[in-house]
Amino acid sequence: METILNAFVELIKAVAWPATALILFFFLRKEVSALVTRLASLKVKDVEMSFLQEASQLRQAAQAALPPAEKHESEPVFRQYMEIARVDPRQAVIESWSRFITLIQDFAAASGFPQERGMTMPEIVMELKLRDAFDGKILMLLEDASKLGFRVQEGNAKPSYGEALEFCDAVSQLIVFFESVNREKKPANNRIESDEK
């Protein structure tokens, strides 16, 4: 009888932790599910930044590199994407990113970049570097915004509302900046400097 009782106790010890975890998961499944869907990335071996961290850094870089007027003028543009983000954060990122890419391509075409087959964003950024059209901070901003927007478009990141706002805030400033640059029709060989050196 004692061996049966000992076996029963050992069975309870072995099952107690997994059973507790399953019961907690069952009662918290909605919260766990919401948390998992909000994860933009996971850390595996090497350090990997989340979409929110990258979008936040992009916004801070835009504020540091672009002229101060862009922030004020970008507010209506940002509000437009904020409304879209309330319904679909991913769509807000894609729409702001697409408008940004179109403005960069317009600048490239007006600056005489090769247009036989159309240039990809990395090719445009490389050409901007070669022509010394913008200072390094602005070029890095273009690269970072392009990479982050591309990740969302390809489905490799699913931003939350807050993440979309961070991204759209930065890209709205870039949109206003490039609308201004395109209006002024500055030649690509005139270097455009950021405010901070």
Q: What are the tens digits of pLDDT across the range 17-64? A: 777 777 776 777 666 555 544 454 544 444 445 777 888 888 888 888
pLDDT at site 190: 44
Q: Which long-range contacts (CB under 8 A, 24 or more apart) does 188-191 make?
A: 188/107, 188/111, 188/112, 188/113, 188/128, 188/131, 188/133, 189/131, 189/132, 189/133, 190/133, 191/132, 191/133, 191/134, 191/135
pLDDT at site 191: 43
pLDDT at site 47: 43
pLDDT at site 188: 44
